[in-house]
Amino acid sequence: MEHIAGSGASAATIVFLLLAVGLALSFEFVNGFHDTANAVATVIYTNTLPPWIAVVWSGLWNLIGVLISSGAVAFGIVALLPVELVINVGSASGFAMVFSLLISAIIWNVGTWYFGLPASSSHTLIGSIVGVGLANSLIFGSHTFGDGVNWTKVQETLAALITSPIVGFVGAALLLLLMKALIRVPELYREPPKGQPPSPWIRLLLVLTCTGVSFAHGSNDGQKGMGLIMLILIGIVPGVYALNPGLSQAQVASIYSASQSASTVFDRMAKGANESAAEANKALNGFLKTSGKLDETTWTAVATINHLITSDLQGKSSTTQIAPSDRGAVRSHIYLISASISKIGKLKGFTDPADAKALADYAKQLNGTTNYIPVWVKVAVALFLGFGTMIGWKRIVVTVGERIGKTHMTYAQGASAEMVAYATIQAASQYGLPVSTTHILSSGVAGTMFANRSGLQGQTVRNILLAWVLTLPVCVFLGSLLFALGLRLVAAF
């Protein structure tokens, strides 16, 4: 943060920045009520650890998970946003976007937490993002309603969010049955005596599974707020955060060389045509929308913007050598080319397989210049997740431990649900897919109750499912409404 104070930012800019980052951290704080609370539910409810120790331990492993995370999930969330708002995040509409989706997500998360319903912060945030995209396409006169929404990325994300509870339910049920067949220790399958901790080896097992889920949560769910915080920082102080200052001289040189090679391909496809930077920006913004088509105009625009990247990096050994006033524009150029290469690849627009591979590698290098997260952002997110868990854990823990099944959760049920949750979340993190810890773990507990023939509490299960079903449409509505109101409010200032 000291870089901001030394960047020449005005007092008003710093106040606005603190307000926006504070709102993003508030989302993570409320996220701790739900998702992180699930990680400690089993150890608390089986008397394995006292609540305060469980929460602190879980918070520590959330922090570790966040710190070593790649950022893929964080920028996967950003990729759901309308391209024109991501590029112009420092505009009035960009600020309205960030504030509206965060506020709508917080409202729904707090409401479902109040009633003790384990709802998904991932669904909440994605619904709000879709709402912003729909409202943006309507307000700014897009020819196609919803054209500003990255529907391909939305479909990929929703597929992960829909299938992960099924994996949780089935996987935990099967694992419990396997444990019963292979581990014949009666204590594992009995209801924990009230107020008494389990045997040392069972405590170790449950602490390990809690640790795994907490770590996995930090490496996946913990990233969602980081991407939004980076958007805020880039929008308000682009001279400090628009480009990754940690790239080595060799990396910058490699990107410069790759940009020259890419220009050879783009110029050939554009047949030597060129246009102004403003026209090229407009053309690529249109191409990157859902209805955008690959044509000669696209190739000309890609060639034009890529030449600007080559010019931006020429003679530079570090991104810090680019003038702070130019870094926002350079980031926009990089974002447009990287996203365009990705879409052209999906459309099979590169006829030569060698060109397709080289340009895909080039896009990855470009992403490294913009998709980065400072350590202080990771630490702040992890701390607020932990603070939220400390304050709001009890409502969700009671629901998971008592109200899903008709009997008290056994040690084996808790361990099965958490082991499956850990494996599922880790797998999703490898592919940069945001999944819900809440959905996976709650479904896993339900799966173990079903496999154990313990029975499910119908009213609780119905309420949880209803909250899951309503999350997306309600948050789409809230995101749209607050974005429209936010535009009016920001314009008034």
Any domain includes 296: yes
Any domain includes 265: yes
Any domain includes 240: no
Task: Going from the first residue of the chain to its last (493 residues), give the mean pLDDT of each consecutive group of 10, the final group possibly shorter.
Answer: 54 78 88 72 84 85 82 76 73 81 89 79 83 82 62 74 86 94 90 85 91 85 80 86 92 96 93 85 87 90 95 94 92 93 92 92 94 89 82 75 78 91 86 77 89 85 82 89 84 62
Residues 68 and 158 in one domain: yes
Residues 358 and 382 in one domain: no
Residues 273 and 361 in one domain: yes
DSSP 3-state of 345: helix
Q: Among 331, 355, 370, which residue terminates a domain?
A: 370
The pLDDT, as a whole number, for residue 140 is 73
pTM: 0.81
**Cβ-proximal residues to 364 (8 Å cutoff; 6+ apart), any chain:** none
Q: How far is CA 489 from CA 208, 361, 486, in A?
A: 49, 42, 5
Residues 329 and 380 in one domain: no
The pLDDT, as a whole number, for residue 162 is 79
Report the alpha-carbon distance of residue 243 to residue 199 in Å, rounded. Answer: 52
Residues 131 and 204 in one domain: yes
Domain count, the chain: 2
Phi, psi of 289 (to 5 degrees): -75, 165
Phi, psi of 230 (to 5 degrees): -65, -40
Residues 249 and 338 in one domain: yes
Q: Among 370, 397, 418, which residue terminates a domain?
A: 370
Residue numbers of the domain that contains 120: 2-235+374-492
Residues 365 and 387 in one domain: no
Q: Among 321, 337, 370, which residue terminates a domain?
A: 370
The pLDDT, as a whole number, for residue 456 is 83
Residues 182 and 56 in one domain: yes
Q: How many CB atoms lie within 10 A of CB 248?
A: 10
Asked if 131 contacts 475 with a C-beta cutoff of 8 angstroms, the reply is: yes
Residues 54 and 162 in one domain: yes
Q: 209-247 as b/e, with b when 16 or more CB fall inside 10 Å?
A: bbbbbbbbbbbbbbbbbbbbbbbbbbbbbbbbbbbbeeb
Any domain includes 204: yes
Any domain includes 331: yes
Residues 93 and 224 in one domain: yes
Residues 436 and 488 in one domain: yes
Residues 173 and 231 in one domain: yes
The pLDDT, as a whole number, for residue 311 is 95
Q: How many CB atoms lie within 10 A of CB 294?
A: 16
The dihedral of CA 62, 65, 70, 72: what is its sign?
Answer: negative
